[in-house]
Amino acid sequence: MGINVTLRTKPLGKDRLSLYLDFYPAVPHHKTGKLSRRQFLGLHIDQQPKTSLARTRNKDLMLMAEQIRIKRENELNKPEIYTEFEKSQLAQKAKGEQDFIAFFWALAKKRGNQNYQKWISTLNYLQAYAGDHLQFNEVDESFCDSFRYFLLETKCLRRPSKKLNPNSASAYFLLFKFVLKEAYKAGYFTSPLDPKIENIKLQETHRQFLSLSELNALARTPMEDKMLKKASLFSALTGLRYSDIEKLLWSELEYVEGQGYYLNFEQRKTKGFEFLPISEQAASLLGKRKFGERRVFPLLSYKMFNRKEYKNWLANAGIIKHITFHCFRHTFATLQLASGTDIYTVSKMLGHRELKTTQIYAKVIDESKRKAADRIHLEM
């Protein structure tokens, strides 16, 4: 018994009809692989065409739909009439009609354990550009170049008043190209796209940090929001990001006899688990230890109303640099390197996945050494 394929219509709004194929019995859906009775063709006709042009258009679309119906019926009932080449072309066409966004999401869940937030951000910008559904056959060199330009010009999704940081755009586009490479390996493209697409170049960034004397000045300077001050100094002593300090639990603080204090936690940004040694001073900064799943920094807030107070704290300490909370993490890295800690150890303590990320701080230290060397000048 063969499979009956019937051309049918479904009413849409505004007196339009959507054309679809009706299968009996059900067949695997060409995109999802699940059994289905319907395959919508993406073709729409007028229910009551009022002009000769509309009637002609309806006739042409119905003819096209009927040709698709016959071809689909032959695929299902008479596969022998197709050559091997035609079969491969049909299979490639079916793959090209599958959803690139869905493939991206599936890959994010499978491969995004260490940089999950970067995967999600890349997907958010891709969907902001292309929408929620994007077929593989729509992703070509022209599309990739257009998406590259979009990332360079678009606003930041989290802060619409600001343009997307070029280095963030570079990271997102590099991940997008990785997905293109994986899609080619999986057979969704007949030739690799990623080698043809130009990367977004990284820009040199200036990472602001505090000297040890400036950090001590801040430690001595009172701040009305004691919780924010304590969290800032804790970041400078441990290198932790704000997101990790905010969610830090007392149960994640451990003391090992003969070795000292450790933090055993999952990084919010990278989803990587860390066992980070911290100094006695960093641990004592937290105050009397509590137990259970309670937060170490309850009610910690870094919202806009706190930033003015933050600036006042810096000004009262005599510091005129533009310092944000993240700069305390930069301070930890640069002071560690300046004191002689090797770059590999600093990289591990910061939770970096790649050493080249930490090398940015080493460059800052080299610049500081250059400035120091130039301070001695003989009058001859």
For residues 188 and 220, state if they share a domain: no
Question: Does position 66 have pLDDT exceeding 70, yes or no?
Answer: yes
Closest CA to 31 of 105, 134, 109, 108: 134
Please state the rounded mean pLDDT for residues 282-303.
Answer: 82
In a domain, 291, yes or no: yes
For residues 249 and 320, state if they share a domain: yes
Whole-number pLDDT of residue 341: 84
Please state the rounded mean pLDDT for residues 210-233.
Answer: 90
What is the extent of the structural domain holding 360?
A: 212-374
DSSP per residue, 223-276: -S-HHHHHHHHHHHHH---HHHHHT-BGGGEEEETTTEEEEEEE-TTT--EEEE
For residues 12 and 145, state if they share a domain: no
In a domain, 201, yes or no: no
Q: Report the number of distinct structural domains present in the chain.
A: 3
For residues 227 and 305, state if they share a domain: yes
Question: Does position 367 have pLDDT exceeding 80, yes or no?
Answer: no
Cis amide linkage into residue 25, ω under 30° from 0: yes
Residue 267 banded pLDDT, cuts 50, 70, 90: low
Question: Does position 308 have pLDDT exceeding 80, yes or no?
Answer: no
Contact 134, 101 (CB under 8 A): yes
Least confident of 89-98, 181-190, 286-295, 333-342: 89-98
In a domain, 88, yes or no: no
Q: Which residues are CB-contacts of 99 (< 8 A; sequence separation ≥ 6)?
A: 31, 133, 134, 135, 136
Least confident of 113-122, 292-301, 331-340, 353-362: 353-362
For residues 260 and 325, state if they share a domain: yes
Least confident of 28-32, 163-167, 313-317: 28-32
The CA distances from residue 368 to 46, 189, 336, 378, in Å, are 72, 49, 14, 20
pTM of the model: 0.51
Contact 5, 23 (CB under 8 A): yes
Residue 181 banded pLDDT, cuts 50, 70, 90: very high
For residues 285 and 228, state if they share a domain: yes
Please state the rounded mean pLDDT for residues 172-191.
Answer: 89
Whole-number pLDDT of residue 108: 85
**Residue with structure tokens 């960034």?**
205
List beta partners, residue 10: 18
Residue 1 banded pLDDT, cuts 50, 70, 90: low
In a domain, 379, yes or no: no
For residues 191 and 235, state if they share a domain: no
For residues 230 and 340, state if they share a domain: yes
